[in-house]
């Protein structure tokens, strides 16, 4: 042990410095470039936060207009990518498809893969942020067997995503501003969260000099698991499984039972030992969306609120400081927007792409070393090879 620090799970190891995002887990504070997440969610929008994360400052009106225009002009994907989709089974999990197609983007954009060139890095960031919703919606359309819907430049980022998801050649998608605003907020609240598992994966992949599309594909793979981005899908599945308020106690008891691997999904966080500030905004947004759709009595919402109340009072959760996290309410909103559960983590990835690429760009712009953790070897002591006849 004496040679290096042993820290499985990186519980107490900082692998980098970063000027992008600050979290005080004890207080439940989240700042992007110094701005509180609550203020950004209330007064800003997703693309403005993208600019902020990438460039370090809020844009002025001209800078914002130019940034929005540039992202909007990069939303189309190469037509051959549509053929790429045809190779996937229709029942494939959308995250499985996303791991493949995002990595494949590097095969289409050779012209700007010189990572030492700041302009190339910037174009890759634009391309990734702009094309993620297009690819996400194509994944959904492929699954349900509908034709792909092309992006529209006259719509906002969130409106355009909903349009590509729900319009058909036969019928336009009528944008409801309350729902589009909620969609934008979901992207915004997921935009960055410092050195979580997927962002650290992107940095590690990037530290070898891999291209940004390959690095983001590695982030998508790391996000997929239920302990990370897959939690939003797992929360909804859990709420549906609980099914009725009368069964909540049974599930809470299971979560507390050391012999049962079940955990209350959407609760707990490695860093937050207080309310996740994103969860507070998400809860409010959830109320607004359900009120707009006349779904205030949605049974899943009732179960979620009751479960939250019980868990917040239960000594097990109180002592372990297990509070609802960002994904506890996002699934209910997404379901109300008509988005199927298997797309939830894809939406998380779409919002988080700006965080991943901002961290990658921050690392590549400065001095960095290849990430190379060490290990504690626990295998066999040195021994002589035994020939096949003697084994
Ligand atoms: N339900 C029941 N018990 C829990 C839960 C939970 N959701 N989360 C943690 N615990 C217990 C755990 O059993 C352990 O107990 P003990 O000390 O007696 O062994 C203690 O709390 C600490 O848990 P841990 O697993 O050591 O903590 P961690 O920091 O390694 O894990 C976590 C954090 C988020 C993976 C975990 O809380 C969890 O599995 N939560 C449910 C999944 C979830 O909602 N994930 C989304 C995270 S937010 C979105 C994102 O960042 O991707």
CATH number, domain with residue 316 = 1.10.230.10
- Whose C-alpha lies nearest to ligand 1, atom 37? 268
Q: Are 366 and 126 in contact (CB under 8 A)?
A: no
Q: Is residue 296 pLDDT above 90, yes or no? A: no
C-alpha–C-alpha distance, residues 151 and 155, integer Å: 9
Q: What is the pLDDT of residue 311?
A: 87
Residue 2 binned pLDDT confidence (cut-offs 50, 70, 90): low
Q: What is the pLDDT of residue 167?
A: 98
| Cβ contacts of 346 within 8 Å, gap of 6 or more | 94, 95, 98, 136, 139, 140
pLDDT, tens only, 347-387:
999 999 999 999 999 999 999 999 999 999 999 999 999 99
Residue 134 is assigned to a structural domain of this protein: no
Is position 190 annotated as part of the catalytic site?
Answer: no
Is position 269 annotated as part of the catalytic site?
Answer: yes
Q: Which residues pair with 29 in a beta bridge?
A: 24
Mean pLDDT across 75-79:
95
Residue 156 Cβ < 6 Å to ligand 1: no
pLDDT, tens only, 128-179:
999 999 999 999 999 999 999 999 999 999 999 999 999 999 999 998 999 9
Percentage of the chain beyond pLDDT 90 is 89
Residue 56 binned pLDDT confidence (cut-offs 50, 70, 90): very high
Helix axes 231-242 and 344-365, enclosed angle (nearest 10): 160
Q: What is the pLDDT of residue 362?
A: 98
Atom in ligand 1 nearest the alpha carbon of residue 271: 29
Residue 259 is assigned to a structural domain of this protein: yes
Of 269, 276, 314, 359, the catalytic one is 269
The helices-and-strands tally (H runs, E runs) of the chain is: 17, 3
Residue 195 is assigned to a structural domain of this protein: no
The domain in which residue 269 lies consists of 231-336
Residue 227 Cβ < 6 Å to ligand 1: yes
Residue 330 is assigned to a structural domain of this protein: yes
pLDDT, tens only, 216-237:
999 999 999 988 888 888 999 9
Residue 345 Cβ < 6 Å to ligand 1: no
ipTM of the complex: 0.96
- Whose C-alpha lies nearest to ligand 1, atom 41? 265
Q: What is the pLDDT of residue 164?
A: 98
C-alpha–C-alpha distance, residues 54 and 201, integer Å: 18
Q: What is the pLDDT of residue 230?
A: 87
Q: What is the pLDDT of residue 155?
A: 97
Residue 381 is assigned to a structural domain of this protein: no
pLDDT, tens only, 266-284:
999 999 999 899 999 999 9
Mean pLDDT across 41-62:
98
Long-range residue pairs from 225-230, CB within 8 A, at least 24 positions apart, any chain = 225/197, 226/265, 227/197, 228/196, 228/197, 228/198, 229/198, 229/327, 229/345, 229/348, 229/349, 229/352, 230/95, 230/345
Residue 86 is assigned to a structural domain of this protein: no
Q: What is the largest CA-CA distance in the chain?
A: 77
Atom in ligand 1 nearest the alpha carbon of residue 348: 52
Residue 229 Cβ < 6 Å to ligand 1: yes
The pTM is what?
0.94
Mean pLDDT across 338-348:
95
Which of 239, 268, 347 to mutate to test ligand 1, by most ligand atoms within 8 A of the CB atom?
Answer: 268
| Cβ contacts of 293 within 8 Å, gap of 6 or more | 179, 336
- Whose C-alpha lies nearest to ligand 1, atom 2? 263
Q: Is residue 127 pLDDT above 60, yes or no? A: yes
C-alpha–C-alpha distance, residues 78 and 258, integer Å: 50
- Looking at the 3D structure of the chain, how many domains does it have? 1
C-alpha–C-alpha distance, residues 363 and 369, integer Å: 9
Mean pLDDT across 289-304:
91
Q: What is the pLDDT of residue 293?
A: 94
C-alpha–C-alpha distance, residues 163 and 149, integer Å: 8
- Whose C-alpha lies nearest to ligand 1, atom 36? 268
CA of 271 to the centre of ligand 1 (A): 10
């Amino acid at each position: 042990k004496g040679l290096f620090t042993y820290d499985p799970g990186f519980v107490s190891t900082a692998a980098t410095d970063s000027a992008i995002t600050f979290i005080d887990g004890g207080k439940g504070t989240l700042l992007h470039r110094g701005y509180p997440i609550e203020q950004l969610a209330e007064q800003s929008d997703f693309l403005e936060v993208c600019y902020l994360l990438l460039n370090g400052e809020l844009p002025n009106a001209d800078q914002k207009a130019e940034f929005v225009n540039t992202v909007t002009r990069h939303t189309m994907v190469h037509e051959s990518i549509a053929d790429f989709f045809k190779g996937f089974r229709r029942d494939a999990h959308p995250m499985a498809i996303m791991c493949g197609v995002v990595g494949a983007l590097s095969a289409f954009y050779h012209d700007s893969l010189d990572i030492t060139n700041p302009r190339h890095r910037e174009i890759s960031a634009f391309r990734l942020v702009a094309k993620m919703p297009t690819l996400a919606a194509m994944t959904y359309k492929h699954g349900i067997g509908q034709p792909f819907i092309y992006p529209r430049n006259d719509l906002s980022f969130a409106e355009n995503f909903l349009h590509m998801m729900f319009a058909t050649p036969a019928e336009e998608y009528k944008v409801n501003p309350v729902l589009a605003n909620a969609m934008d907020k979901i992207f915004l609240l997921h935009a960055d969260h410092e050195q979580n598992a997927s962002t650290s994966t992107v940095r590690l992949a990037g530290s070898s000099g891999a291209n940004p599309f390959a690095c983001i594909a590695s982030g998508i793979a790391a996000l997929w698991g239920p302990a990370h981005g897959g939690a939003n899908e797992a929360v909804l599945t859990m709420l549906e499984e609980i099914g009725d308020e009368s069964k909540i106690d049974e599930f809470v008891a299971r979560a507390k039972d050391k012999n049962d691997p079940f955990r209350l999904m959407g609760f707990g966080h490695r860093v937050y030992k207080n309310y996740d500030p994103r969860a507070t905004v998400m809860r409010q947004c959830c109320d607004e969306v359900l009120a707009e759709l006349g779904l205030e009595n949605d049974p899943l919402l009732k179960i979620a609120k009751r479960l939250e109340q019980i868990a917040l009072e239960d000594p097990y959760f109180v002592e372990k400081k297990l509070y609802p996290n960002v994904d506890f309410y996002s699934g209910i909103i997404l379901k109300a927007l008509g988005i199927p559960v298997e797309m939830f983590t894809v939406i998380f990835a779409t919002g988080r792409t700006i965080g991943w690429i901002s961290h990658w760009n921050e690392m590549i712009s400065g001095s960095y070393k290849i990430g190379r953790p060490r290990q504690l070897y626990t295998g066999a002591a040195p021994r002589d090879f035994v020939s096949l006849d003697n084994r």
